[in-house]
Chain A
Amino acid sequence: MTVRIKFRKFGVLKFIGHLDVMRYFQKAIRRAGIDVKYSMGFSPHQLMSFAAPLGVGLLSDGEYFDLEVNSLTSSEDMKKRLNECMVEGMEILSVKLLDEKAGNAMASVQAASYTVRFYEEKLPVFSLKDAVKRLMDKDKIPVVKTTKKSTVEMDLREGIYELSADDDKKEVTMLVNASSSGNIKPNFVIKELYHEMGEVLGDFDIIITRNETYTGTLNNFVPLDFEATLF
């Protein structure tokens, strides 16, 4: 049996990287006494799979991982037990039983939505709304993406599904591709907005919050726990 766990990462936990978040949960699951399934062999490990790794510095209200368990109590009970051993900065939002037909968390991820805010002393000097309009009017936004192995040119526009801005709140929200093949980092999008307006985004100007992680297909994205049910 696999449960899909949704959690929120906030506050100082944004400085904890993905691998350490995994280690954190392995220990938390032991503390909470969850009847988790282990691999075989001399150093058994818990069978867990995280959806979309979150970079250091990012906050999130919609993180997921799958956990294989031997037995279940109830969604409420498991959530409560896990929350009792969280630190400030981590909160379990739900524990649901995954559909047997559903793919694992990582493979399911197709899109993610983000809200981007600015440090007070780094507010943009132009209208975000105007920038968004200009960017979205384009057919193509060619950017160069550098990975460990290579640099590839890609079209950013194609992976931006929704983009909007609020000039009063100084916020940008977006829904973008988050699949393993076409993942778009939100700061890329903001950089392009600045570029459109002839400005340059600094390295430490923005605070990014991932709002939700989605599966499904374009025009029909659903939150990742859509494939799971309360028990």
Chain B
Amino acid sequence: MNKLALSDEILLTIEKPARYIGNEVNSVKKDLSQVDVRFCMCFPDVYEIGMSHLGIQILYDMFNRFDDVWCERVYSPWVDLDAVMREKKIPLFALESQDPVKDFDFLGITIQYEMCYTNILQILDLSQIPLMACERTEEHPIVIGGGPCTYNPEPLADFFDLFYIGEGETDYRALLDLYKEYKAKGWSRKEFLLKAAQIPSIYVPSLYRVEYKEDGTIATFSPINENVPTTVKKGLVPEMDNTTYPMKPVVPYIKVTQDRVVLEIQRGCIRGCRFCQAGQIYRPVRERSAVLLKDYAKQMLTNTGHEEISLSSLSSSDYTELPELLDYLIEECNEKKINISLPSLRIDAFSLDVMSKVQDVKKSSLTFAPEAGSQRMRDVINKGLTKEVILQGAKEAFEGGWNKVKLYFMLGLPTEKEEDIRAIAELANDIAALYYDTIPKEKRNGKIQIVVSTSFFIPKPFTALQWASQNTKEDFIEKAYLTKKSVMEQLNQKSIKYNWHEADVSVMEGVFARGDRKIGKVIKRAYDMGCLYDAWGEYYKNDLWLQAFEEEGIDIGFYTTRERDLDEIFPWDFIDCGVTKEFLKREWKKAMNGEVSPNCKEKCQGCGAMRFETGICIKA
């Protein structure tokens, strides 16, 4: 019988014990005597969130296809178990073998959002692995980070031995082979790290020295050894049809956020929205062929038994073979009684037709993400969506029976003025008015319901707006208030509901997004003071964070509101993500002039990703 790391008594006292027992359908067990490397893959949030992440499933599957590697999973213990483990000094364990994480060769942590940083320290702490990389010895696992936040890994530099920059499919094999050599030859941990730094995509923070100017910005950022490269190039999958994909994803017992088969139809995005990091770091856009995707869909549905399938991409409407793929899925899924969920579709005649086939029109809602209220503001951020297009899409949708609309905007964008904010409410009002104009009273299925949501703009590395000043918390709150007030002033205000995001946490996120190595000690202090699960509103403790910054003598404004000089050295400049700083500067200047840029399909902008010689770059 399967052994468990936790006693029955503990498991029966905590919430959702199924989070900790492993044994799920398609989880992988291997014979320990047959493997050389044990890899523990971690998503530093609760099980239901971590299990919903496609990237982990891809890597879990990829590692386990290697005969000499056994990859297992671990997620953040929820606060109830966290307390028990600390009290009873139970070491954190991997789900499959239930063995302590500290006995593994690697602990790989995917870093998907900034507000999980204290959870990373929790993972290390509960695993009984020293938090600081410099305190680890040959006895400890190699701690490696990956995922979008590693495009600025600097705030976490102290806690990781390695970072993997870019798409995980490309360079892990080389790292594993090097690790086997390290063990066989009895190298020191330092020797291993030095050699690892020479593998593409691998960044070893301890092998770089940062010097600062008096004003706190970076003076120099350089390797401390001549064998260590000055820039780290991101890994990129050249051919999406020729890479690994999890045909047998793990099926959880408990309901998780994404309880479905996920088909990644393409990676990257042709649209250069200037606030969007994903749109830049995954360049160039590369599609998977529909033929292959159909086969994947079939196999994955059979292997999991899921009753839902969804498409994953940054902008599904841009996928060239979408009609063909959807025709197939609709037919196949209809027969097998499988739901199709369609995210990120542009609202037009085609998508409305598709949506009416797969959803209950009366219950579902239309989603528009204009991101900004006025055309001028949308030009600044290069969001190529006009009011006419939105209204046209809405009109067709109303005629098709929809009467629920969701609108997403950002507040605090650079150059934003009061009128841009008012335009948010006006746009919502125009959509409502259009509904009442388009649909005669007797045909209406109740009032129109519009939900306007705003988040606060946070400048991210490797975007055209990385030079921008972020608003203060007070600005954010004032702007949300103005939005609310403008909504209330509209004729159709009764049909419009307004939600806004927390301002405190957006400020913190801004610090981490563009932070440098000095932030590490703040994260450590905040963790020591009890910060954990910061991404969960009810656990986020702003006062403790502020105290941590103060005690470490770190000025928040330096990272958020400060205007950056065009030639300031950024903490993330050592990473070559394909897109050049020159291109981003051009885009930043265009943004300030309110000039739009065409997308990759219309006209190549020479962003730098051409060097990968693949995807849209060689098609266009």
Which A residues fall within an 8 A CB radius of B?
10-13, 15-17, 20, 23-24, 26-31, 33, 38, 42-44, 56-57, 85, 87-89, 119, 204, 207
Set A16, A31, A44, A87: member contacting B337, Cβ < 8 A = A44
Q: How large is the interface on B (under 10, 10 to 19, 20 to 34, 35 or more residues)?
A: 20 to 34
Tell whether, in the assembled complex, residue A30 and residue B301 are in contact, meaning their CB atoms are under 8 Å apart: yes
Contact of A20 among B254, B359, B360, B363 (CB under 8 A): B254
B17 within 8 A of A: yes
Given contacts A27-B25, A27-B304, A85-B305, 12 further A-B contacts (CB under 8 A): A11-B2, A12-B21, A13-B23, A15-B18, A16-B18, A27-B306, A30-B336, A31-B305, A43-B339, A87-B25, A204-B8, A207-B8
> Once bound together, how far apart are the Cα atoms of A31 and B359, in whole Å?
24
CA distance A204 to B359 in the complex (A): 47
One of A13, A29, A42, A57 near B360 (C-beta < 8 A) = A42
Say yes or no: A27 contacts B1, CB within 8 Å: no
CA distance A10 to B24 in the complex (A): 14
Shortest Cβ gap from B252 to chain A (Å): 9
B361 CB to nearest chain A CB (Å): 9
Rounded to whole Å, the gap between the CB of A82 and the closest CB of chain B is 11
Q: Is the CB of A31 within 8 A of B303?
A: yes
Taking the nearest CB of chain A, how far is it from the CB of B320, in angstroms? 29
Closest residue on chain B to residue A57 by CB atoms: B12
Let me know if B305 and A42 touch, CB within 8 A. no
B335 → A minimal CB distance (Å)? 11
Q: Is the CB of B302 closer than 8 A to any CB of chain A?
A: yes
Q: Which residues of chain B have C-beta atoms less than 8 A from A23's C-beta?
A: 253, 255
Bound CA span A38–B337, Å: 8
A56 touches B2 (CB 8 A): no
Identify 25 residue pairs between A and B in the complex whose beta-carbon atoms are under 8 Å apart, listed by A's number: A12-B2, A12-B22, A15-B18, A16-B253, A17-B18, A20-B254, A23-B253, A24-B253, A26-B305, A27-B251, A29-B305, A30-B301, A31-B302, A31-B303, A31-B304, A42-B359, A56-B12, A57-B8, A85-B25, A88-B23, A89-B23, A119-B8, A204-B8, A204-B9, A207-B8
Which of A12, A89, A119 is the most central at the interface, judged by chain B CB atoms within 10 Å of its CB? Answer: A12
Find chain A residues with CB under 8 A from B363 CB: 42
Task: State in angstroms the CA–CA spacing of A43 and B259 once bound together.
Answer: 14
Contacts of B305 in A (CB 8 A): 26-31, 85
Least Cβ–Cβ distance between B16 and chain A, in angstroms: 9
B306 proximity list for chain A (CB < 8 A): 27, 30
B325 at the A interface (CB under 8 A): no
Chain A residues in 8 Å Cβ range of B22:
12
In the assembled complex, the Cα of A43 lies from the Cα of B337 at a distance in Å of 8
Interface positions of B from 1 to 51, Cβ below 8 Å from A: 1-2, 4, 8-9, 11-13, 17-18, 21-25
Residues of chain A within 8 A of B254, CB atoms compared: 20
Cα of A57 to Cα of B14 in the assembled complex, Å = 12
A10 neighbours in B (Cβ, 8 Å)? 1
Contacts of A88 in B (CB 8 A): 1-2, 23
**B307 within 8 Å of A by Cβ?**
yes
The distance from the CB of A120 to the nearest CB of chain B, in whole angstroms, is 12
Q: Give Cα A57 to B22, complex, Å.
A: 16
B304: which A residues are within 8 A, CB to CB?
27, 31
Q: Are A15 and B17 in contact (CB under 8 A)?
A: yes
Q: Specify which chain B residues have a CB less than 8 angstroms from the CB of A57 in the assembled complex.
A: 8, 12
Q: Which residues of A contact B8 (CB under 8 A)?
A: 57, 119, 204, 207
Q: Which residues of B contact A207 (CB under 8 A)?
A: 8
Q: CA A33 – CA B301 in complex, angstroms? A: 11
B164 to chain A minimum Cβ distance, whole angstroms, is 31
Q: How far is the CB of A26 from chain B (nearest CB, A)?
A: 7
| Chain A residues with CB under 8 A of B12 | 15, 56-57, 204
Most buried by A among B23, B306, B336, B363: B23
Name the distance in Å between B250's Cβ and chain A's nearest Cβ. Answer: 11
In the bound complex, CA of A88 to CA of B363 (Å): 39
Report the minimum CB–CB distance from A85 to chain B (whole Å). 7
Chain B residues near A30 (CB-CB < 8 A): 301-302, 305-307, 336
